[in-house]
Amino acid sequence: MPKRQSSAASNEAAAVAAPVKEKRRAREVGAETPIENVPRRTRARRPAKPREVDFVVIGGGSGGVAAARRAAALGVRTVLVERDAIGGTCVHRGCVPKKMLSYGAGWASILATGLANTGGKEDWRDAIVRVNAEVARLTATFSQRLHESGVEILHGDAELSAPGEIRIGNETLRARKILLSTGAHPRALAVPGGELVSTSDDIFTWQSLPGSLVVIGGGYIAVEQASILSRYGVKVDLLVREDRLLQRFDADISRALAEALANKGVRVHLNTEVTLVSQANGAYEVCYTQQGRKQSVRAQAVLAAIGRDPNVEGLGLEAVGVALGEERGIVVDKQFRTSVRGVYAVGDCTEGLQLTPVAVSQARWLADRLFGKRGDMVDFDVVPTAVFSEPAIGAVGLTEAEAIEAAGKPERIRTEIRRFVSLENRFAGVSRQSVFKLVLNARSGRVLGAHLMDNAAPEIIQVFALAMRLGVKASHLKTTLPLHPTVAEELFG
C-alpha cells in the first residue's frame, strides 16, 4: 500500500510537471527560429562534383549501342544513357517487329490462297506473341553485350546542362566526348482530330485487329503497314498525298506496286489532302479533298504514317548551342560533328537518311575515329534499301529521273525493264508480275541504279549494291552465268 501511494503521488507530480516541460520545449523551438530546417537551405547545398568519364552516348538504339560497344572495346570509359528499353526503334517499334509481322502476313496470304484447302490460318494474336518474344530476346542480348563490353548503362532522361556536362536525374557526368543518337518518333497528324489516330508505334501493341482501317501516308511505313494488315484480312484504304506511292523510288516500280496492292484489295487514293478526323458510333471518319472535291471514308481505325521527326526535345540543345536544321534535325558535318565542340550526332536524330544500317555504320566509324583507330567510312553514295510489302521492293542507286537529271540529257541514259511471273506466284495461281529495272549509262553500259519488285528483291539488292560499288556493267551481267531457276537470273538478260 505505501508503494502504491508513493507511485500515485509520483504519477500525479509527473502529470503536473508535464505541461511545464511541453511549454519549455515549445519556447525552445520557437526561440531557435529553425533556419537550418528551411527547405531552401537544403536545396541550396553545393551539388555533387560531376563524375568524370571519357564518352557518353545518349540513346540506346542501333547507333548508340554500336558506338558504345566500339568505344568500350578500345578501352574508353563509356556510359550509355537510355530512357526507354535498349534497342531503340529498330528492335521495338521498327525493323524487327515489322519484318516478323511481314513474314506472318506472308503466311496468312499463302494459307488463304495456295494452301486454302488445308484450313490453316495465321492468327494476329499468335504473331504478336512471337514478335514480342523476339523483341525481348534482342533487348536482353543488347544489354548483355553492352555489359560484357564494359559499357555502363544509366536509365533516365539526359540533358546537356553545360559544355561537356550531362545531367541524368540527380547525377551529372563530365565527358570529353558526347554522342547524340536519340532516334526519331512518328510525326503527328496536324489536322483537327489528329489526336484520335494511331501511329506505327501503336500497331505492335494491338492485341486484335480492326475490320477496316484508313492508312494516311504514301512512304515506307504506310505502304508496309497497309500491305501487312490487308494480308491479315483488314480492309484497307490508303490515302496518299502525292500523285504516286513511294516518291523517292523509281516511278515504274511505284506504279507497279500500286497496281499490285490494288489487286490484293488495298484501295489506293492518290492526290489526297486529309482535313479532318472524327469519331462517332464506334467508327472513325476521315475527311479529305481530292482534286478539289470533298470526300470521306469511314473505318474502325485510322493509322497516320506521314513521316518521323528527330528526338531533340528536352536534350538542352538550344542552351548549349547545338544547331538544328529546317526539319528540326541536328546539323552535322561529314565527320558527324555538331556546332558545339565535343558533341557529335548520328542516325535518325540528324537530317540524314533514317535507316538502321546507316546509323550503325556512322556510329562505329565515329567511335574508331574519336578514340584512336582509323577506319574506312562506309560508302553512303550506294545505299541499298527495301520496302517489305507484298510484293517487296529493293532498290539501290539512281532512279531513271535522277540519272537523267545528273546526266543533263535523256539520251545519255538507257533503261532495261523485265516483267515476268515468278514460279512462286505460278504455284500459288497468282498472275501478279515481278518487275526488274536497270538504269544504265547509255555509252559505257555501267549500272547506275537497280530497282526490283519481287518478294526476293530485298535479298538480291544487297549483293547488287556491292556489284555497283565495283562498277558493274550490263556486259558483265550478260556474260555471267545465272543461277536457274531463280528470279535473280532475270537481271542477267
* Buried-state track 3-40, b at ≥16 Cβ within 10 A, e below 16: eeeeeeeeeeeeeeeeeeeeeeeeeeeeeeeeeeeeee
At 197, the amino acid letter reads V
Residue 304: beta bridge partners? 216
The catalytically annotated residue of 155, 269, 476, 484 is: 484
218 carries a ligand binding annotation: yes
378 carries a ligand binding annotation: no
End-to-end CA distance of the chain: 122
Do residues 111 and 120 make contact, with C-beta atoms less than 8 angstroms apart?
Answer: yes
348 carries a ligand binding annotation: yes
166 carries a ligand binding annotation: no
224 carries a ligand binding annotation: yes
SS3 category, 55 = strand
* Buried-state track 232-261, b at ≥16 Cβ within 10 A, e below 16: bebbbbbbbbeebbbeebbbbbbebbbebb
Do residues 166 and 160 make contact, with C-beta atoms less than 8 angstroms apart?
Answer: yes
Rounded to whole angstroms, the Cα distance separating 151 from 60 reads 11
To the query of whether residue 484 is one of the catalytic residues in this protein, the response is yes
Exposed/middle/buried for 358, CB within 10 Å: 0-12, 13-18, 19+?
Answer: buried
217 carries a ligand binding annotation: yes
SS3 category, 484 = coil
**Sheet with 385-387, side-by-side order of all strands:** 385-387, 393-397, 447-453, 434-441, 413-420
221 carries a ligand binding annotation: yes
88 carries a ligand binding annotation: no
CB contact set of 405 (below 8 Å; sequence gap of 6+): none
222 carries a ligand binding annotation: yes
Binding residues: 99, 217-224, 307, 348
Binding residues for FAD: 99, 348
Binding residues for NAD(+): 217-224, 307
Q: Which residues form the catalytic set?
A: 484
